[in-house]
Chain A
Amino acid sequence: MTVQELPGAAAYRPTPPPAWKPITDPAPLLPDPEPYRVLGTDAVADVDPELLLRLHAELVRGRRYNAQATALTKQGRLAVYPSSTGQEACEIAAALVLEERDWLFPSYRDTLAAVARGLDPVEALTLLRGDRHTGYDPRERRIAPLCTPLATQLPHAVGLAHAARLKGDDVVALAMVGDGGTSEGDFHEALNFAAVWKAPVVFFVQNNGFAISVPLAKQTAAPSLAHKAVGYGMPGRLVDGNDAAAVHQVLSEAVARARRGEGPTLVEAVTYRMEAHTNADDATRYRVDSEVEAWKAHDPVRLLEHELTERGLLDDAGIEQAKEAAERMAAALRDRMNADPELAPMDLFTHVYAEQTSQLREQAAALRAELDAEQDHDEHGPEAGR
């Protein structure tokens, strides 16, 4: 007996499956074909001059901060410093678009964003100095610990924003990641969760051209990183990362959208890492000087300064004033970082668990004895205690 001969087979007529339609209309989610710009375009007329001046002062300060932190590394005062020189427009804008109650989720390259948010630079640099992991209370500052494992902070931002929304709190989380980080699984999972949960999150990718040495072309075949948003059902925005006014505007819109309960946005800022990955890296092994020179012509500080002086909003005296303020910040930072941090070896055991296990108590006692012996030796010489 064949299927056609089964009882009732004659009555069966194949019909098309139930109608299929896309879950989300992709058209409005697509990023612009070109990075969005404000400086040097008509759009700049709509920007509050006060904001431009504020951005300028912060950019100048940020540039000086990067230079000072790099110098501190050369002097041995920082174990390592991943510089955001050239990316100051992104760092500053990310900090300025947030309200005090919002949360920032920085990566290890984003100490400047934390500082621009008001964090004491010494506290921001504690991790990189190496005397303790996190130099501040994240809940008090609403700045997550600087995150080193790439993109792993993104799901945290989603969970936090989701929790805040469940509680009815008006809190937005802005999470920062680099172009290399977009290849990580956590980037994918975070964006997917955020979109499904409509979590008030802004994912902010600084595409600075390199993941240490690997250029973007070896990282992705996507039309742009912003295009990845469409696959998750959220809007993607592409912006010139060296145009502080444009980054500020695009991030502000994304934050406002999240605040309205409309869900997450992926923002890709196209920028350039002017320095090597860190002081321990040699950028000449993987990129040519002419490329760096080309980006210098599109420097975020110069771009904004040019706009402001062209329009008569800033003169040489104003520029000088901004530089002097930055110098004062740098001098204070240098002085404070030149003091040796107080080390607390016994604290190694204090915050592993709420309550020390018996094993940790034994190990702490052993270290205590070693420290006492060291001190005895230092005070009384090698014969002490024999």
Chain B
Amino acid sequence: MTTAAVTADGRPVKAKPATMAQALGRALRDSMAEDPTVHVLGEDVGTLGGVFRITDGLAKEFGDDRCTDTPLAEAGILGAAVGMAMYGLRPVVEMQFDAFAYPAFEQLMSHVAKMRNRTGGAMPLPITVRVPYGGGIGGVEHHSDSSEAYYMATPGLHVVTPATVDDAYGLLRESIASDDPVVFLEPKRLYWSKADWSPEAPAAVEPIGKAVVRRPGRSATLITYGPSLPVCMEAAEAALAEGWDLEVVDLRSLVPFDDETVAASVRRTGRAVVVHESPGFGGPGGEIAARITERCFHHLEAPVLRVAGFDIPYPPPMLERHHLPGVDRVLDAVARLQWEADS
């Protein structure tokens, strides 16, 4: 997967197994080293290194003024970041968990998303809001929400979510460098997923706004992102036994949405299933299915189906496996794509 194999000074680099958490931390570190206006702030991000240890070592390397433990108040953190950005800094805010980002909604919706527009382009806010999201880690309530639909529905925000170690580094670097605000959703159950990766020579990745075909196939397209990508990859492998060769598209960013890559894939395969953890009703899948139908109607052999979380508050940890879309549910949906019409 990794292509770059030499350091800046030309030494060969050996990629070693690294976790997504390590790649994210390295992205923060490299952004801070490269650009003195990058400031990290949030709860426990300093001395502790964050509850997921993503910011580990940053306060030590760059000082408390660059990586700041704030008072425990999410609206205050994001509101202060707005002011810092107004003065020319490039704040990276850590929200501790998905559901703890809700107190910052007003700042996000009314100011972060709108400031460029409100000021006729005079004062864009280059803020990255990192939000660990999704379930599957055995968290008790308020620790496992999939909140992407709220962010997607707010014009002015970019909504980005990596599913691979390479993307974790590359997309976070690009988000921090972006002059637009980015809600950077980190799939927390993939924090400890590993891939060969080299911090000295991280692989270049496709830019924000570009979806990537993770697995080419001819029978049907699975469209997914973040925590559901590994589920879809596994489902695609299992589907071979049923005679289905599934294509898997990793969206990588929900906003901007890559209509082109998605539509091109569905036109090739003629069938599509959208997979995400977020509740189905009012979730990203509905929007994606509508967009596919609008663009690919005459290529479709079956209705676009959705495999999503149930329309329920996130369940207690001992029951979450019943809620999360798994391989079997994905395969069941694929089976319902009206294959009999082909024969």
Could you tell me the dominant secondary structure of chain A's interface residues?
helix
Asked if A158 is an interface residue, CB under 8 A from chain B, the answer is: yes
Query: Is B116 touching A352 in the complex (CB atoms < 8 A)?
Result: yes
Query: Is B79 touching A186 in the complex (CB atoms < 8 A)?
Result: yes
| CA A161 to CA B80, docked complex, whole Å | 9
**Count, chain B residues at interface, CB 8 A:** 46
Q: Quick one: given A138-B86, A139-B123, A354-B180, are A155 and B255 in contact (CB under 8 Å)?
A: no
B residues less than 8 Å from A156 (CB atoms): 79-80, 82-83, 86, 111
A residues less than 8 Å from B106 (CB atoms): 149, 152, 186
Q: Quick one: given A149-B110, A357-B256, are A133 and B79 in contact (CB under 8 Å)?
A: no
Query: Is B80 touching A159 in the complex (CB atoms < 8 A)?
Result: yes
Which of B9-17, B70-78, B131-139, B322-330 makes up part of the contact surface?
B70-78
A residues less than 8 Å from B110 (CB atoms): 149, 152
User: When the two chains form the complex, which single residue of A149, A161, A185 contacts B103, counting CB atoms closer than 8 Å?
Assistant: A185
A residues less than 8 Å from B255 (CB atoms): 357
List residues of A (334-383) whose CB comes within 8 Å of B's CBs: 347, 350-354, 357-359
Query: Is B116 touching A359 in the complex (CB atoms < 8 A)?
Result: no
User: When the two chains form the complex, which single residue of A145, A152, A166 contacts B119, counting CB atoms closer than 8 Å?
Assistant: A145
A residues less than 8 Å from B156 (CB atoms): 352-353
Contact with A along B52-82 (1 / 0, CB 8 A): 0000000000000100001101011011111
Which of A2-10, A53-61, A67-75, A187-195 makes up part of the contact surface?
A187-195
A residues less than 8 Å from B86 (CB atoms): 138-139, 144, 156, 159-160, 163
Asked if A154 is an interface residue, CB under 8 A from chain B, the answer is: yes
Q: Quick one: given A137-B119, A159-B86, are A354 and B103 in contact (CB under 8 Å)?
A: no
Residues of B within 8 A of A (CB): 65, 70-71, 73, 75-76, 78-89, 91, 103, 106-107, 110-111, 115-124, 155-156, 158, 178-180, 209, 255-257, 259-260
Residues of A within 8 A of B (CB): 132-134, 137-140, 144-145, 149, 152, 154-164, 166-167, 173, 185-186, 188-190, 192-193, 196, 347, 350-354, 357-359
Given contacts A134-B120, A359-B257, 13 further A-B contacts (CB under 8 A): A133-B119, A134-B119, A155-B82, A158-B76, A159-B86, A160-B86, A163-B89, A164-B87, A185-B103, A189-B75, A190-B76, A193-B80, A359-B259
